[in-house]
Structure 1
Amino acid sequence: MTRKTANDFPPEVLGLFDKYVHGQISRRGFLDGAAKFAIGGLTAAGLLEALSPQFAHAQQVEPTDARLKTEWIEIAAPGYGKVRAYSARPADAKGKLPVVLVVHENRGLNPHIEDITRRVALDNFIAVAPDALFPLGGYPGDEDKARELFGQLDQAKTREDFVATADYLKKLPAGNGKLGVVGFCYGGGVANFLATRVPDLNAAVPFYGSGAAIEDVPRIKSPLLIQFAEKDDRINAAWPAYEAALKSAGIKYEAHLYPGTQHGFNNDTTPRYDEAAAKLAWQRTIAFFNQQLRA
């Protein structure tokens, strides 16, 4: 079966899906809005299913891949008391390695982000992905339930737990003392936030995430590699003010906008995935981490 892409869906349906994914409309709101675009035997529910993640289809690195050592770790943190995270590193690591903190979207640590964590590790990093939903039982195995749980988190506490996790990872015995962070959507916002709160962060790569609070931008010390989708008005609307603040504060940054792409273009579990853009963005990400974390 040919894999669907964003071009197979009306822009209005993609817009409704983005609102649904980010909690701006309910499932019923999506179905009602998409009903008028349900043609050719495809129902509104069918459109939603077609746009939803297919984790097994997109997995690139098996959880049991012999090239990696994976484990679950727990980290003491001030927000909810404890963070549970998925860790992956090369099984035959030689010497101390840079550490990359991987931050998920607004559904917690789902199989896609676990796979991303393994991909980072295969590029010779220690990769660690916390699950912000751990205080509520962890990722529930269902994206809708995960979104519902996510709305119950106290984000002030969650942010402090990410800060504590970053501090812990800077001091990992197997690490070389250098730490980078990469995050997607919600995680992109966390990456920008951590750049303002972790003075010795060495690199941050937010994918289509909310920018840091403008008043906090002067506190950023780490270089930024900022990845944007072109068709992402919700996120892109705030970029001019964020960029002006970065320039005013003299922050070192690169920003890339990928033509024709949708929010979530790096997520290869959904039709919004753009293979060419995702590959280029990922190459840039790994090259940036190699440059910033290995010197």
Structure 2
Amino acid sequence: MSELKKENIKQEVFDLYDDYAHNRIDRREFAQQLSTYAVGGLTVASLMSFLMPDYKGNIQVKADDPRLKTETVTYQSPKGGGSIKAQLAMPADAKKKLGGIIVVHENRGLNPYIADVGRRAALAGFVSIAPDALTPLGGYPGNDDEGRALQSKRNRDEMLEDFIAAYDFLKTNNNCNGKIGVVGFCFGGWISNMMAVRIPGLAAAVPFYGGQPTAEDVPKINAPLLLHYGELDTRVNEGWPAYEAALKKNNKVYQAYMYPNANHGFHNDTTPRYDKAAAELAWKRTIDFFSQKLA
């Protein structure tokens, strides 16, 4: 990892990475535009290396953690991608049925960070399932660039069906008490919002910096919402005022937090966009929320 420090990088560089990470520019254009900021001994290569995720040193709960029972399962998504693989995790010493949490990945498949988040949720006392919407295309390919390319080939509404099917799968799991929530990040934040729209029995939804449903869809939401946004994430935040207005108009139950000076992706501890204080506070709020709604 480069010795660069987050505080020495201009916000425009993080905004540029956001464009790249969401397929608004390709790798070549990303490198070309980064060259503007490669000054004072910095190189384009060092900037790119600094911005890319580091999965080796940032896993909080390992896949073989003895405190958990973690396995790969397969379930059917009749309206989506057919057979979907997922990580299923729960406390190894569970003595009772537990609330269920669906963990929804970003726009690059079930990468190590999201799988880790699934295990964190299990360690907090839940049955978690973290599906890989790239399963029909072979699954997460081992790096995020290829993962984004693969995910762009899938229809997002079909992927929504894959995650709705995960809800149905958890409903019948013998270790789940039938109360199920969803937490998702980026693309997964949009999925979380849309699952609240689509699933009348959803017990809770926690979108992290997720795209918002239309005002016409808001009346269909029954689940209480906990929404997390980063102050510097202007692209996603543009849709929040209209969403909040619709939530208020329809008397929906929600809590929303805007984290100061935090970027899109601030919860992802494998990239320099990570904001430790904001991420830890948002995750504590998330677990507390699920503890209340899924008991």
**2:109 matches 1:108:** yes
| CA offset digits 1:129-178 (Å, max 9, x no partner) | 00010100000001111111111012222111211211221232210010
- Determine the C-alpha separation between the residues in 1 that align with 2:107 and 2:5: 22
Q: Do 2:2 and 2:49's aligned partners in 1 also have CA atoms closer than 8 Å?
A: no
| CA offset digits 1:230-279 (Å, max 9, x no partner) | 00010000001000111111110000000011111100001110111111
Partner of 2:25: 25
Instruction: Write out aligned runs for 1:254-293 (5 A).
Output: 254-293=255-294
| CA offset digits 1:177-201 (Å, max 9, x no partner) | 1001000011001000000001000
What is the Cα deviation at residue 6 of structure 1? Answer: 3.8
What is the Cα deviation at residue 4 of structure 1? Answer: 5.3
Q: Residue 69 of structure 2 aligns to a residue in which SS? A: strand
Q: Residue 214 of structure 1 aligns to a residue in which SS? A: coil
What is the Cα deviation at residue 3 of structure 1? Answer: 7.0
Q: Residue 145 of structure 2 aligns to a residue in which SS? A: helix
Partner of 2:53: 53
- Determine the C-alpha separation between the residues in 2 that align with 1:240 and 1:142: 35
Tell me the C-alpha RMSD between the 2 structures.
Answer: 1.3
Q: Do 2:192 and 2:205's aligned partners in 1 also have CA atoms closer than 8 Å?
A: yes
Partner of 1:244: 245
Give structure 2 stretches of 5+ with no counterpart.
Answer: none
What is the Cα deviation at residue 11 of structure 1? Answer: 1.4
Q: Residue 173 of structure 1 aligns to a residue in which SS? A: coil
Partner of 1:7: 7
Give structure 1 stretches of 5+ with no counterpart.
Answer: none
- Determine the C-alpha separation between the residues in 2 that align with 1:11 and 1:230: 12
**2:65 matches 1:65:** yes
What is the Cα deviation at residue 2 of structure 1? Answer: 8.9
What is the Cα deviation at residue 7 of structure 1? Answer: 2.4
Instruction: Write out aligned runs for 1:145-224 (5 A).
Output: 145-224=146-225
What is the Cα deviation at residue 98 of structure 1? Answer: 0.5
Change (3 A) 1:267 1:122: same
Change (3 A) 1:3 1:240: farther
- Determine the C-alpha separation between the residues in 2 that align with 1:191 and 1:73: 21
Q: Which amino acid aligns with 1:62?
A: K
Query: Which contiguous aligned blocks of 4+ residues in structure 1 show a shift greater than 6 angstroms?
Result: none
Q: Do 2:2 and 2:50's aligned partners in 1 also have CA atoms closer than 8 Å?
A: no
- Determine the C-alpha separation between the residues in 1 that align with 2:214 and 2:49: 35
Partner of 2:233: 232
Partner of 2:74: 74
Change (3 A) 1:5 1:206: farther
Q: Residue 210 of structure 1 aligns to a residue in which SS? A: coil
Q: Residue 53 of structure 2 aligns to a residue in which SS? A: coil
Change (3 A) 1:18 1:172: same
Q: Which amino acid aligns with 2:188?
A: G
Instruction: Write out aligned runs for 1:80-91 (5 A).
Output: 80-91=81-92
Q: Which amino acid aligns with 1:113?
A: I
- Determine the C-alpha separation between the residues in 2 that align with 1:4 and 1:284: 31
Q: Which amino acid aligns with 1:165?
A: A
Q: TM-score, normalised by structure 1?
A: 0.97
What is the Cα deviation at residue 36 of structure 1? Answer: 1.4
Change (3 A) 1:225 1:71: same
- Determine the C-alpha separation between the residues in 2 that align with 1:172 and 1:220: 24
Q: Which amino acid aligns with 1:116?
A: V
Partner of 1:35: 35
- Determine the C-alpha separation between the residues in 2 that align with 1:5 and 1:199: 45
Q: Residue 262 of structure 2 aligns to a residue in which SS? A: strand
- Determine the C-alpha separation between the residues in 1 that align with 2:201 and 2:5: 40
Change (3 A) 1:6 1:210: farther
Q: Residue 184 of structure 2 aligns to a residue in which SS? A: strand
Q: Do 2:2 and 2:46's aligned partners in 1 also have CA atoms closer than 8 Å?
A: no
Q: Which amino acid aligns with 2:174?
A: P
- Determine the C-alpha separation between the residues in 2 that align with 1:238 and 1:4: 33
Q: TM-score, normalised by structure 2?
A: 0.97
Partner of 1:253: 254
Identity level (%): 51
Change (3 A) 1:29 1:165: same
